[in-house]
């Protein structure tokens, strides 16, 4: 399995963001909460939730799209959850997080599914419709074909976040940061990681 | 001789069926949404009332009884607590006290209440809808638990309790037991002390006052005990206090408190509801302009999805919080995605000169499955989180799973049925369903 340079570079950048957040945490600057909201935050359930999401997504992907689809979905889930966690730690220096940070971080999974599932489905469909395509070409075509929908969903999600933020103060922004991080992470991974991870998968037996 | 029978061919007026189906669905939707805004008195005496559950920006509205606003988005009650004693506590101790109070509030489900330090005092901002008198009393309790032998000598304290809960002690339904799990050190101390005190009793004290003194009949060396003799209220209160830990210094309440503004901004509730209303209108306008009749149907389905989501949020007692709104709005985004994916496919098909029926049939078999996959995948993850009982994550997932189920039913069944009926009624002229002119494929 050879992963494309773009995907590798994106994963490296995401890892750097994660390391920056980790360094901030080690220096006592990570994950700032407002008004005692840290009482509602626990690492145990959050990490358990990420692990469970990873396993369920892999199994779901495997059943629906085979091993390469399962790997793509699982990598996207892991990447998006960890990156949004890291982004939250960095943003929280400006806006303290709220007591709802933990569930809203996990809620970012909705964006991962909204953006990654169509890429996997469309890439498979492209490959089945035109067997002469390479997996990389199929993935690129899937990304291009899904762009209008992705733009529309991103815009709608951004408008939802804007509507929720309007009239609110720093406390409100702190509440919505995990969702915003989830949206950014999912938009990034579905464009720069998922297609290449799927393309790097071993070609399966094609249906006649 | 066989009797000659005449077979009369039964013809169904398909247009009439479509009109009736669409009308029934429309009337039911309008009644449901209107009830959502107005509620309904269920009997003449006013004993039973269907509360309105759809939030509107009007100040005097009953929906706040169905969706109780939290401290973030609703009016608050501000209670101030002063440290008792001549010496002012250090910042570190104040931070510890904030954490303890926040844990108590969080444990009771008030996750968006706030605790702040102001001028050396602790300020608790509670939702106005909460039982503020009870919360004030609970927050001021020092919560120092000790275990003593019959002579009153302390051999262990609450810091050696790692987990605390409660459950029924017997079949009576009134006798509850406090269940405690000890740390490794606590397990060792309690084990040896209970062995030493067989035939005598161990007392559990809170702030020096004996709560219970159960007799010891055998050594308790498992690291966990179940102490009966509590009622529901005291068992819950003591479990909350044990889980939060003791306050680092004593507190006293300054007066009764005073009404305060929502934590997230003065007019946040009204502005937020207006903004969400405008957003919905924008989405509906987009669908109407781009997909005409089909767009009208999409706007109708989305309105129904939102109304049903708020209805179930009210039934679950989810409250009017950012968490509830996020679950409902994420469900809205997922449903919009599913419908949009189908419509984009339909438009592409129509542009290529395919028939509307054929395009829709294909669309539901291909593009429609993308929405289905997203919803089913997210539903699976949510159900797993609910089963795992992950605290606030589970609370969020309960409502989110319901919005996903609603989305599934609406997009895969209701929308499909009504779109078919619309086509039967208004015909298959493609300009009724997409803005762009169709081109026949060469």
Q: Which pLDDT score, from 0 to 100, does residue B442 have?
A: 39
Using 50, 70 and 90 to split pLDDT, how confident is the model at B257? confident
> For an interface test with B, which of A32, A34, A37, A40 has the most B Cβ atoms less than 10 Å from its Cβ?
A40
With CA atoms as reference, the chain A residue closest to B338 would be A114
Q: Which pLDDT score, from 0 to 100, does residue A24 have?
A: 81
Q: Which pLDDT score, from 0 to 100, does residue B321 have?
A: 93
Q: Which pLDDT score, from 0 to 100, does residue A30 have?
A: 78
Per-residue pLDDT at B1 exceeds 60: no
- Give the contacts of B9 (CB within 8 A, at least 6 positions apart): none
Q: Which pLDDT score, from 0 to 100, does residue A208 have?
A: 41
Name the residue among A39, A40, A49 with its Cβ closest to that of B385.
A49
Per-residue pLDDT at B189 exceeds 90: yes
Of A161, A170, A54, residue with least CA distance to A112: A54
Using 50, 70 and 90 to split pLDDT, how confident is the model at B438? very low
Per-residue pLDDT at A186 exceeds 90: yes
Per-residue pLDDT at A204 exceeds 70: no
Is the Cβ pair A104, B385 closer than 8 Å?
Answer: no
Q: Which pLDDT score, from 0 to 100, does residue B9 have?
A: 66
Is the Cβ pair A164, B378 closer than 8 Å?
Answer: no
Q: Stretch A166-186: mean pLDDT, rounded?
A: 91
Name the residue among B366, B370, B380 with its Cβ closest to that of A56.
B380
Of B221, B218, B199, B250, residue with least CA distance to B97: B250
Size of interface A-B (CB pairs under 8 A): 184
Q: Which pLDDT score, from 0 to 100, does residue A203 have?
A: 66
- Cβ count within 10 A of residue B17: 13
Q: Stretch B12-40: mean pLDDT, rounded?
A: 93
Using 50, 70 and 90 to split pLDDT, how confident is the model at A12? confident
> For an interface test with B, which of A103, A172, A174 has the most B Cβ atoms less than 10 Å from its Cβ?
A103
Cα B237 from chain centroid (whole Å)? 23
The pTM of the full predicted model, rounded to 2 decimals, is 0.89
Q: Which pLDDT score, from 0 to 100, does residue B3 have?
A: 57
Side-chain-side CA neighbours of residue B120 (13 Å) = 9
Is the Cβ pair A103, B322 closer than 8 Å?
Answer: no
Identify which has the larger pLDDT, B171 or B51. Answer: B51
Using 50, 70 and 90 to split pLDDT, how confident is the model at A166? confident
Q: Stretch B233-260: mean pLDDT, rounded?
A: 92
Using 50, 70 and 90 to split pLDDT, how confident is the model at B381? very high
Per-residue pLDDT at B195 exceeds 70: yes
- pLDDT, tens digit, 9 for 90 and up, residues B59-85: 667 898 899 999 999 999 999 999 998
Q: Which pLDDT score, from 0 to 100, does residue A91 have?
A: 87
Is the Cβ pair B112, A98 closer than 8 Å?
Answer: yes
Using 50, 70 and 90 to split pLDDT, how confident is the model at A95? confident
- pLDDT, tens digit, 9 for 90 and up, residues B287-340: 999 999 999 999 999 999 999 999 999 999 999 999 999 999 999 999 999 999
Per-residue pLDDT at A207 exceeds 50: no
Is the Cβ pair A171, B278 closer than 8 Å?
Answer: no
Using 50, 70 and 90 to split pLDDT, how confident is the model at A23? confident
B387 at the A interface (CB within 8 A)?
no
With CA atoms as reference, the chain B residue closest to A38 would be B99
Q: Which pLDDT score, from 0 to 100, does residue B59 have?
A: 64
Using 50, 70 and 90 to split pLDDT, how confident is the model at A205? low
Q: Which pLDDT score, from 0 to 100, does residue A115 have?
A: 96
B436 at the A interface (CB within 8 A)?
no
Cα B135 from chain centroid (whole Å)? 21
A144 at the B interface (CB within 8 A)?
no
With CA atoms as reference, the chain A residue closest to B124 would be A35
Kindly report the average pLDDT of chain B as a whole number. Answer: 90
Per-residue pLDDT at B434 exceeds 90: no
Share of chain A above pLDDT 90, in %: 61
Do B193 and B155 contact (CB within 8 A), yes or no?
yes
């Amino acid at each position: 399995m050879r992963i494309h340079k773009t995907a590798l570079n994106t994963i490296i950048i995401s890892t750097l963001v994660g390391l920056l957040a980790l360094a901030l945490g080690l220096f006592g600057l990570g994950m700032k909460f407002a008004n005692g909201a840290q009482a509602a935050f626990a690492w145990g359930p959050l990490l358990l939730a990420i692990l469970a999401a990873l396993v369920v997504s892999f199994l779901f992907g495997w059943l629906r799209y085979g091993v390469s689809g399962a790997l793509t979905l699982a990598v996207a889930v892991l990447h998006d959850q960890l990156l949004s966690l890291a982004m939250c730690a960095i943003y929280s220096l400006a806006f303290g997080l709220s007591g709802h940070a933990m569930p809203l971080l996990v809620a970012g999974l909705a964006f991962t599914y909204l953006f990654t599932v169509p890429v996997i489905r469309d890439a498979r469909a492209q490959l089945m419709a035109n067997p002469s395509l390479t997996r990389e070409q199929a993935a690129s075509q899937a990304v291009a074909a899904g762009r209008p929908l992705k733009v529309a969903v991103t815009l709608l999600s951004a408008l939802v976040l804007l509507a929720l933020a309007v009239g609110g103060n720093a406390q409100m922004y702190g509440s919505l940061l995990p969702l915003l991080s989830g949206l950014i992470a999912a938009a990034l991974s579905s464009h720069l990681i998922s297609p290449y991870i799927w393309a790097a998968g071993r070609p399966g037996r094609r249906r006649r | 001789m066989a009797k000659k029978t005449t077979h009369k061919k039964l013809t169904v007026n398909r247009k009439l069926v479509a009109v009736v189906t669409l009308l029934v669905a429309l009337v039911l939707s309008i009644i449901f949404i209107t009830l959502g805004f107005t509620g309904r008195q269920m009997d003449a005496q006013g004993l039973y009332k269907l509360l309105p559950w759809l939030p509107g920006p009007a100040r005097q509205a009953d929906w706040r009884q169905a969706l109780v606003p939290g401290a973030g988005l609703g009016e608050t009650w501000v209670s101030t607590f002063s440290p008792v004693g001549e010496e002012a506590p250090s910042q570190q101790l104040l931070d510890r006290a904030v954490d303890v109070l926040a844990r108590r509030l969080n444990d009771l489900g008030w996750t968006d209440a706030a605790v702040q330090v102001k001028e050396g005092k602790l300020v608790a901002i509670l939702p106005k809808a909460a039982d503020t008198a009870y919360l004030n009393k609970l927050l001021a309790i020092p919560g120092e638990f000790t275990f003593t032998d019959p002579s009153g000598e302390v051999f262990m304290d609450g810091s050696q309790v790692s987990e605390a809960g409660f459950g029924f002690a017997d079949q009576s339904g009134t006798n509850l037991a406090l269940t405690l799990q000890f740390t490794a050190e606590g397990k060792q101390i309690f084990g040896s002390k209970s062995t030493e005190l067989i035939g005598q009793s161990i007392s559990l004290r809170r702030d020096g006052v004996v709560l219970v003194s159960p007799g010891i009949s055998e050594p308790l060396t498992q690291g966990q005990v179940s102490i009966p003799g509590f009622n529901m209220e005291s068992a819950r209160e003591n479990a909350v206090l044990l889980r939060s830990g003791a306050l680092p210094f004593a507190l006293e309440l300054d007066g009764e408190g005073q009404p305060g503004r929502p934590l997230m901004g003065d007019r946040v509730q009204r502005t937020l509801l207006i903004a969400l209303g405008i957003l919905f209108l924008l989405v509906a306008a987009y669908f109407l302009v781009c997909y005409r009749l089909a767009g009208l149907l999409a706007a109708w389905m989305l309105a129904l999805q939102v109304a049903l989501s708020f209805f179930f949020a009210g039934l679950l007692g989810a409250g009017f919080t950012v968490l509830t709104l996020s679950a409902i709005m994420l469900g809205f985004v997922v449903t919009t995605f599913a419908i949009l994916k189908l419509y984009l496919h339909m438009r592409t098909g129509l542009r290529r000169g395919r028939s509307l029926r054929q395009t829709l049939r294909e669309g539901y078999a291909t593009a429609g499955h993308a929405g289905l996959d997203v919803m089913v995948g997210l539903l699976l993850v949510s159900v797993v989180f609910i089963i795992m009982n992950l605290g606030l994550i589970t609370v969020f997932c309960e409502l989110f799973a319901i919005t996903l189920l609603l989305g599934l039913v609406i997009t895969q069944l209701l929308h499909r049925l009504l779109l078919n009926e619309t086509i039967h009624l208004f015909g298959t002229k493609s300009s009724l369903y997409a803005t762009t002119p169709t081109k026949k494929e060469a």
